[in-house]
Structure 1
Amino acid sequence: MVKSRIPAPRRSLLLGASALLGTSALLVACGAQGSPSAAGDAAHRPAVPSASTTGAAGGTPSVAARPTPGEGTETPTAPDRTPEPSASSTAPASPHASPTPSAPRTTAVPSQPSGSTAATPPQPSSHAPATGVLRHTASGGRTVALTFDDGPGPATGQVLDLLAQYGAKATFCEIGDNAKTRPAAVQRILAEGHRLCDHTVDHPQPMHTRPHEQQVAEIADAKSMIENAAGNSPTITWWRAPGGDFTAENERIGADLGMKSLGWTVDPRDWSRPGVQAIVSNVQQNLRPGGVVLMHDGGGDRSQTVAALKQLLPWLVAQGYAFDFPQS
């Protein structure tokens, strides 16, 4: 028999194919360990990647970095609601704390219906200067009017004793609260020939910033308190604004109550206790005939005022001054 001869190139291809088929059959029959089969791939394939482990669409899956606690995380937004007041916002303010200034509140003004008239807001106090403040003695000439503010106080009796020694008359501008507390001193002032002046209920400063109704109460109530302390309905001719803070407004209030506004021409600032000699020198250098001197018998320690008065009274007499009341 003559064998047909297969060309060498084809023989090589056939041998390679046979070897490949034989290997595949062996693997299917036995299953090689360590080499995943198609079933094994399906069993061990990871679950469908989640959004946290999947990169951009169509890209290779990647493992997202786990955020450090407190970083890179967001708290879900709660539904809108009115916040609960905190302890700091609900605690009452100290009655002694100074209020913190705040920006003025702007209030929207509702539109008025057609034909209606808008309500007139309260008018602020007028700060126009007063024009009728008295600053002279009643008699003029070489006279002086001594006035004492903020009493009656612990020093009032000493002041009255000194005035009596020199036959001097004076005007006492009294705080309503103090007059109510020391009625005996008020009565002694009148009994010894001196006069009374209204110096408000409790010395508010600055006076002109107070609402009109409060200014009325300060002046009118003090007048009643002084009259009640003195008894016998004494005439109170003057009133004096705390710190000399006179305005056309409070001048009119005093006038409506039958009182005139009393100022001064010499202020040695004895209330600040600058020293006895400073008080004496100030009066001696600034006093002119017909002048009104301002000093204090209440409102604090007035020992310097009393000591200065011991020097000023004999000096005034030596200078030929007569003691007078303010003009009225």
Structure 2
Amino acid sequence: MNGAPDPDHTPWSYLSAQVLHHLLFAVRGQQFLRRRAGLGGRRWPVFGVPGPGVALTVDDGPDPEWTPQVLDLLARHRIRATFFLIGARVREHPELARRILTEGHVVGNHSMWHPQPFAALSPARVRAEIVETQRAVEDVTGAVPRLFRAPGGNWSPKVLRATSELGLLPVDWTVNPSDWRSPGVDRITRRLSRSRPGHVLLCHDGGGDRSQTVTALATVLPRLLDRGLRFVVPADDGG
């Protein structure tokens, strides 16, 4: 789901977006190794959460096959998660977007069409992707997202500026099992099991076969709970 071509998409903007994409790998690696990942703000993405908790974030849904399985698993362990939803999929599966909220989870904005590289889009297209998703989620659920995650985590000053101007908090991650690649249940499980207090975990419930993710989470979630970790929401203010 990459959306329509952007008319202001130049070779230079594409190249700079790709450079930023690779630089962010190093930033995330540094955040993972820090004693406490950065809490971010309006002009810098959230990489961590305060206190002894971890945050489970789930991207690219809602999906009619995998989202219900993830939700059932979360309900079984009484875990609250954040779902970064794609606007077009919210319109396709409104009942799932409503179920996510009804079951106590938080919904975030993950753009309307998930175009990549996101930072290569024109400022107008970046803003439109975010605004259209805000409308889609509000139309379907009555809730207005407060969190935004750039597709592919492709941040730039332009993207962060639009996020801030629209009153959203940018959220990245510290633990990435690359489950979207379907690397195998064991690899996803090992990576997620390395989570420590303050980390933001990245998983996916849309965009492909997510059976490996669901199977891995069935092992990882009780394992993390047994270690005394609790699951929180990025920038949770108790609301």
Q: 1:193 aligns with which of 104, 111, 125?
A: 104
Q: Distance in 1 between matches of 2:155 and 2:140?
A: 26
Which position in structure 1 is the counterpart of 2:172? 263
Q: 1:228-267 counterparts in 2 under 5 A?
A: 228-230=139-141, 232=142, 234-267=143-176
Question: How far apart are residue 131 of structure 1 and its match?
Answer: 4.5
- Whether the 8 Å contact between 2:134 and 2:144 is mirrored in structure 1 is no
**Cα shift at 1:188:** 0.6
Give the CA deviation at 1:319.
0.7
Q: With a CA cutoff of 8 Å and minimum separation of 6, indicate the structure with the bigger relative contact order.
A: 2
Inter-partner Cα distance in structure 2 for 1:176 and 1:319 = 35
Partner Cα separation in structure 2 for residue 131 and residue 326 of structure 1: 15
Q: What secondary structure is seen at the aligned counterpart in 2 of 1:308? A: helix
Q: 2:129 aligns with which of 209, 218, 221?
A: 218
Deviations 1:192-228 (A, max 9, x none): 1100110001111101111111111111111111211
Q: Distance in 2 between matches of 1:218 and 1:235?
A: 15
**Partner residue in 1 for 2:27:** none
SS in 1 for 2:56: strand
2:57 maps to 147
Q: How does 1:1-328 map to 2 (within 5 A)?
A: 131-137=43-49, 140-153=50-63, 154-230=65-141, 232=142, 234-285=143-194, 287-327=195-235
The answer as to whether partners of 1:136 and 1:327 remain within 8 angstroms in 2 is no
Counterpart-to-counterpart distance in 2, 1:141 and 1:244:
24
Runs of at least 5 residues in structure 1 that lack an aligned partner in the other structure? 1-103, 105-123
Q: Distance in 2 between matches of 1:327 and 1:205?
A: 26
Match of 1:6 in 2: none
Partner of 1:17: none
Name which one, 1 or 2, has greater alpha-carbon Rg.
1
Residue 50 of structure 1 is matched in structure 2 by: none
1:325 is paired with a residue whose SS is: coil
SS at 1:254 equivalent: helix
Q: Which moved more, 1:214-223 or 1:124-133?
A: 124-133
Flag structure 2 segments of 5+ consecutive residues without an equivalent: 1-10, 21-41
Task: Give the RMSD, CA atoms, in angstroms.
Answer: 2.0
Secondary structure of the structure 2 residue equivalent to 1:173 = strand
Cα drift, residue 235 of structure 1: 3.2
Q: Residue 147 of structure 1 aligns to a residue in which SS?
A: strand
> Normalization by structure 2: what TM-score?
0.80
Percent identical: 41
Contact 2:111 2:133 in 1 (8 A): yes
Local SS of the residue matching 2:197: coil
Report the number of matched residues: 201
Deviation at 1:284, TM superposition (A): 1.5
User: 1:142 deviation in Å?
Assistant: 2.0
- 2:46 maps to a residue whose letter is L
The CA distance in 2 between the partners of 1:212 and 1:195, in whole Å, is: 27
Q: C-alpha separation between the residues in 2 aligned to 1:309 and 1:133?
A: 25
Deviations 1:102-125 (A, max 9, x none): xx9xxxxxxxxxxxxxxxxxxx79
Q: Is the 8 A contact 2:137 2:144 kept in 1?
A: no
The answer to whether the 8 Å contact 1:159/1:306 transfers is: yes
Structure 1, residues 145-187: CA drift from partner, whole Å, max 9, x if none?
0000000002000100000011100000000100000100000
Asked if the contact 1:151/1:175 (under 8 Å) is kept, the reply is: yes
- CA displacement, residues 255-300 of structure 1 (integer Å, 9 cap, x when unaligned): 1211111100000000000001110001113x12111000001111
